[in-house]
Structure 1
Amino acid sequence: MFPGNPKKAGLANNTKWRELRAEMVSLAQLAPYWRTVSVSGNRYPVVGWDGDWSYHFRLGSYREIEVCELLPRPDENAASYEQCVDICRAIGFELELRFSENIIKIVAYRNM
Structure 2
Amino acid sequence: MNNTKWEELRLGMIGLGTPSPRFRVRNLHSGYVSAWDGEWFHHFYGHHEEDEWVEISVTSAAQHEAVLRVLRSVHVPGVTTETGFKIFGYVPRGTHVEYL
Bucket of the pairwise TM-score, normalised by the shorter protein: 0.7 to 0.9
2:12 aligned counterpart, secondary structure: helix
C-alpha displacement at 1:108, in angstroms? 1.3
What are the within-5 Å matches in structure 2 for residues 27-106 of structure 1? 27-40=16-29, 41-45=31-35, 49-58=36-45, 61-74=47-60, 80-98=63-81, 101-106=82-87
- TM-score using structure 2 length: 0.80
Distance in 2, matches of 1:30 and 1:55, equals: 15
Kindly indicate whether structure 1 or structure 2 has the higher relative contact order, using CA contacts under 8 Å at least 6 residues apart.
1
Higher strand content, 1 or 2: 1
Of 19-28 and 36-45, deviating more is 19-28
Q: Give the root-mean-square deviation of aligned CA atoms.
A: 1.8
The alignment of Structure 1 onto Structure 2 pairs a total of residues equal to 92
Greater Rg over alpha carbons, structure: 1
Q: Which residue of 1 aligns with 2:7?
A: 18
C-alpha displacement at 1:57, in angstroms? 0.9
C-alpha displacement at 1:21, in angstroms? 0.9
- TM-score using structure 1 length: 0.72
C-alpha displacement at 1:104, in angstroms? 0.3
What letter matches 2:38 in structure 1?
Answer: G
5+ unaligned residues in a row in structure 1: which ranges?
Answer: 1-11
5+ unaligned residues in a row in structure 2: which ranges?
Answer: 94-100
C-alpha displacement at 1:43, in angstroms? 1.4
Distance in 1, matches of 2:77 and 2:4, equals: 14
Q: Structure 1: which 4+ aligned runs deviate by more than 3 Å?
A: none
